[in-house]
Amino acid sequence: MSVTQQQVLDSLARIKSPRGVALTNANVLSPISASDGKVFFSINVDAAEARAWEPIRAEAEAAVRSLPGVTTVMVALTAERKAGSAPPPPPSRGTPGVQPVHAHKPPPQGGAQSPMARQSEIPGVAAVIAVASGKGGVGKSTTALNLALGLRDLGLKVGLLDADIYGPSVPRLTGLRDKPELDGERKMIPLRRFGLAIMSIGFLVEEETAMIWRGPMVMSAVTQMLRDVAWGQLDVLVVDMPPGTGDAQLTLAQNVPLKGAVIVSTPQDLSLIDARRGLAMFRKVNVPVLGIVENMSYFQCPHCGTKSDIFGHGGARHEAEKLGVPFLGEIPLHMAIRATSDAGNPVVDSEPDGPHAAIYRAIAGQVRDQLKGVIAAA
């Protein structure tokens, strides 16, 4: 039988908080989501107290995990900084768990607070790269997965982290629905398909739960998926970012130890403006932009193969030149890409000898070349 909210609360009531009272009386718990053995809640404290609370977070997670019927637990520590208070100290290198994040304040401009101070590497992972877009629906997740597969085809060991907390699509794109199991060190074991190590917030919580998360919760959930997952040895971990350039995205870009970012845009003007915002966001936090991909670049008729530039194709290439970032390639709007993607059989894997796989592999080749030094060093 799966665990109930009350059973979770009963186990948390036995934990003493740094405030001297039971955790359940400390006024820090979010509502508890418990369904199908999957439990999620957060502990919300002031950033100045975050360090003192990390052991409590871990204790709470362990207590809930030991309840019968629990298959997955995620306890996020969300640390909000009160207006006017000192910034939280950076966590020590390699500390698993959750890092203090800003709630409502915009993150620092121009990297002034040394964003690198908060980024510790993921052990065993040579390069973490982001796939981002200024807005939703441009094909970011489809590109992230096919790019990961392209990198795999180049002989690299690749992981995919779906950090698109507002609409995790990796379960749909990969057909994976299982819950990750825990290893001996109680780290989540990523699911495997297509030779990739794959993790998605969609494996852990119901989509509606993720939808209502605010910035700090997004950050702590992503941090846990980065650091409490047994990624093993990877050359590249591709992170499918949440779309947009708001505070949550900026905080993520700042807190995840990124070696670079790929920006996906459609040719329409509007989305190029959004893409420019994405570019500015990564520059602000000193993450190198590896380049821009133009998705749905031109329409390719599935019957006769004729190309039509329905969106004024070429905008992204022009924009990339103007902005001085590499242009990585053009992906057509094609039925085969949509159909394979939505059926959980990404085109690079299901049609490896086709023209689309070749395009994604060419993009992957350019990304690999830019990361060569990092991968070789590892």
**What is the contact surface with ligand ADP in residues (CB under 6 A)?**
133, 136-142, 169, 243, 295-296, 331, 333-334, 337-338, 341-342
Nearer to ligand ADP, 64 or 165 (CB): 165
Nearer to ligand ADP, 209 or 295 (CB): 295
Give the pairing type, strands 33-35 and 38-46: antiparallel
H or E element, residue 132: strand 125-132
Which residues on neighbouring strands pair with residue 80, listed in sequence order?
46
Which residues on neighbouring strands pair with residue 191, listed in sequence order?
198
Nearer to ligand ADP, 45 or 256 (CB): 256
> Rounded to 10 degrees, what is the CA torsion of 183, 152, 144, 94?
40
Query: Residue 322's Cα: distance from chain center in Å?
Result: 28
Nearer to ligand ADP, 263 or 290 (CB): 263
Binding residues for ATP, as ranges, are: 134-141
Task: Judge contact between 291 and 262, C-beta under 8 A.
Answer: yes
Nearer to ligand ADP, 17 or 142 (CB): 142
Q: Name the minimum Å distance from CB 181 to ligand ADP.
A: 27
Q: Name the minimum Å distance from CB 165 to ligand ADP.
A: 12
Q: Which of 145, 288, 167, 161 minimizes the C-alpha distance to 223?
A: 161
Q: Name the minimum Å distance from CB 172 to ligand ADP.
A: 8
DSSP state of 161: E
Q: Name the minimum Å distance from CB 277 to ligand ADP.
A: 15
Measured between alpha carbons, how far is 324 from 158 in angstroms, rounded to an integer?
A: 28
Binding residues, as ranges, are: 134-141
Give the pairing type, strands 327-333 and 289-300: parallel
Output the residue with the shortest Cβ distance to ligand ADP: 139
Q: Name the minimum Å distance from CB 135 to ligand ADP.
A: 8
Question: Per the structure block, which two tokens stand in for 355?
Answer: 């023209």
